Structure 1
Amino acid sequence: MSKTKKEQIFDAAASTILKEGLSQLTLQQVAEHANMTKAGLLYHFSSKEELIQQMNEHAILCFRQQLETYYETYKHEKAPYVRAYLLATLHDLDMQHTTQLCTSMLATMSFDDALLQPWRAFYAEFKEKAAEEISDPALSQLIRLACDGIWFSEMFQLEPLKREEKNLLLHRILHLLEEG
C-alpha cells in the first residue's frame, strides 16, 4: 500500500530526528528529507508543532487500528484488550512502525509538554480497560511497562531486543495473562 504525502512527511521527520538529532528537526530539513519544497511542506503543516502533533496523532491512530484488529480476533478470549495490546505491540515492532511512534514521542517530550496529552489519554484508556479485564493491577501495569520498555529500548537504542527475544518476552507475558 502506498503512503500518503503526510505519511511520507512523517517518515521524513522521523528520519531527520534519527539521523541528525532532534535539534535539527526544522521544517526545512524535513522538507529536504521528504524531497519537497518547504512551501510544499507548509501546505500540509503550518508549523513544526503542528507536524509533531499530527505525527503523534497518526502514530496513536495506527496503533489503535492494530489494537482493534487484534481485539476483534481475540474478543472471546481471556482479557482480550490486554492481549490485543501485547500483540499490537509485537506487530508494531515487527512492521517497524516503532520508529515513527518513538520519534514522535521523543519529539513531543522535548518540544512541548502539552503535546504529550494524546499519549496520556491513551495510557489512561489502557489502565481503565486493563482494570476491567484483569483483577491484579500489578499484572496490567507489568504488561504496559514491558511493552513500553521494548519501545523505549528501540527509541534510545539501549540494547534493543532481537525479534526472537521480543517474541519470547511477549509470549511469556501472554502466558502470565492466562495464569492470572
Structure 2
Amino acid sequence: MRPSKRHEILDAATRVVQREGVTTLTYESVAAEAGMTKGGLLYHFPSREELLLGLHRHVAQNWELALEAQAGGTAQELSRDERFRAFVRLSQNPERAELLLMLEASEDPVANAAWDEIFARWAPQPPEVPEPAVTGDTEKADDDAAESAAVQRFIARLAADGLWFYEALSTERLDPRLRERVTEEIIALAQSAQVPAE
C-alpha cells in the first residue's frame, strides 16, 4: 500500500527535525524535504501548529510501533514486565527527533498527550504515596510493600529515561557491552520489585 501524502509529509518533517532540530521546521524546509510545493503542504496542514501536532502524533505512534516490535506484541497483550523490558531496550537507541519532540511537547499539553498515552501503557508511572498510617497491622505492611515495589519500578523507569537521555545527548557513546549490562541491571531492578500476594 502506498503511503498517503500526509504520511509522506510527516516522514519528511521527521527527517528535518532529526537532522536540524524543531526550530528549523518550516513549511519551506518540509516542502523541500517532501519534494512538494508549499501549497501542497498547506492543503494537508493549514497551520504550522497543525503540522507540529501531527508530527508529535506521528513520531509518538512510530515510537509505539517500535516498542511493539521490540516486545513482540501490543501493550494490552503483554505483562507489565514485558512492556517495561521493551521500553528499556528501546532506550538504548534513541532518535534525536523523538528526544527533541518530547522536550518540545513538555510545554504544550495537547502535544504532550500523544506521548503521555504511550508512556502510561509502557512505563511505570509515578506512584501515589499515601499519608502515613498509624496502624501496625498486616494490611499496612502489605500496603507498604506494594508502595515500595511501585517506587522501585518507578526508579527503574527513571534509570531507563536517564540511559535514553545519555545516549541521545552525550558525545561519548557507551561501549555496547556496558550499555547491555546497564540495560539488564535496569530490567532486573524493575523485576525485583515484588508486590505481596493477594
- Matches of 1:11 and 1:103, distance apart in 2: 15
Q: CA offset at residue 57 of structure 1?
A: 1.7
Helix, strand or coil at the partner of 2:36 = coil
Change beyond 3 A, Cα 1:20–1:3: same
Letter in 1 for 2:154: Q
- Paired residue for 1:141? 154
The AA in structure 1 aligned to 2:103 is L
Residues 46, 86 of structure 1: alpha-carbon distance in 2 compared, 3 angstrom cutoff: farther
Aligned: 1:25 with 2:22? no
Change (3 A) 1:38 1:107: farther
**1:105 partner letter:** M
CA distance in 2, matches of 1:64, 1:13: 18
| C-alpha contact 2:96 2:168 (8 A) present in aligned 1 | yes
Q: What whole-Å deviation, never above 9, does each CA across 1:133-167 have from its counterpart, x for those lacking one?
A: x9412221122212222332344345454544332
Equivalents in 2 of 1:108, 1:26: separation in Å?
17
Asked if the contact 1:81–1:130 (Cα under 8 Å) also holds between the matched residues in 2, the reply is no
Unaligned runs of 5+ in 2: 129-144, 194-198
Deviations 1:34-69, CA, capped at 9 Å, x for gaps = 222212222332222222222222233233334445
Tell me the distance in 1 between the aligned counterparts of 2:92 and 2:2: 20
Q: CA deviation at 1:73?
A: 9.2
Letter in 2 for 1:37: T
1:116 is aligned, of 112, 117, 120, to: 112
Change (3 A) 1:178 1:13: same
Aligned residues: 173
Match of 2:13 in 1: 13
Map of 1:170 onto structure 2: 183
Amino acid at match of 2:9: I
Output the CA distance in 2 between the equivalents of 1:170 and 1:6: 36
Structure 2 Cα separation of the partners of residues 71 and 162 of structure 1: 26
Is 1:81 the counterpart of 2:80 in the alignment? yes
- Between the aligned residues of both structures, percent identity stands at 27
TM-score under structure 1 length normalisation: 0.69
Q: Is the 8 A contact 1:150 1:160 kept in 2?
A: no
* Higher helix proportion (structure 1 or 2): 1
Cα 1:141/1:160, change in 2 over 3 Å: farther
Written as runs of structure 1 = structure 2, the 5 A alignment for 1:20-99 is 20-68=20-68, 70=71, 72=73, 80-91=79-90, 93-94=92-93, 98-99=95-96
Q: Which has the larger radius of gyration?
A: 2
Aligned equivalent of 2:166: 153
- Match of 1:30, as an amino acid? V
